[in-house]
Homo-oligomer: A and B are copies of this chain.
Amino acid sequence: MQIRIYYEDTDAGGIVYHTNYIKYCERARSEKFFKNNFTFDESGYFLVTKLDAKFIKPAKLGDIIEVKTIVVQMKNASCTLEQSIYIGDEKIFVANITVAYMANGKLSKVPKEKMEVFQ
């Protein structure tokens, strides 16, 4: 998944505002679901519960970045992903992100068809 860096993504330091890399990871996760025809469904969705990130090098206005996602661990009610951001061949950000599945307001088993989206 490729993403262009626009003005809104940058800050007065002239580089991408740090939290935005975490947004791009979320865009990449959501895009997988949208591409598989899932729509937003209040009855069951993923929440980020844990995040462990390294900011290696900043991206700048006009850059095209790429988000790559690998499944690290699938559990019954959660999933840990490694999401990396690249500019060309250079890795500029990496995060381990755990998302938990919530249904009817509580932690629940990930439905099989949603688990398959990550795999």
A108: interface (CB < 8 Å): no
By the criterion of a CB under 8 Å from any partner CB, how many residues of chain A are at the interface?
A: 38
Q: Which of B8, B10, B34, B42 contacts A27 (CB 8 A)?
A: B8
Number of this chain's copies in the complex: 4
8 A Cβ contacts from A1-34 to B = 4, 6-8, 10-15, 17-20, 22-23, 26-27, 30-31, 34
List 20 other contacts, CB 8 Å, given A10-B11, A50-B53: A6-B27, A7-B26, A8-B23, A10-B12, A11-B12, A12-B14, A12-B60, A13-B40, A18-B26, A18-B47, A22-B22, A30-B62, A47-B55, A48-B55, A49-B54, A50-B55, A51-B51, A51-B55, A52-B53, A53-B53
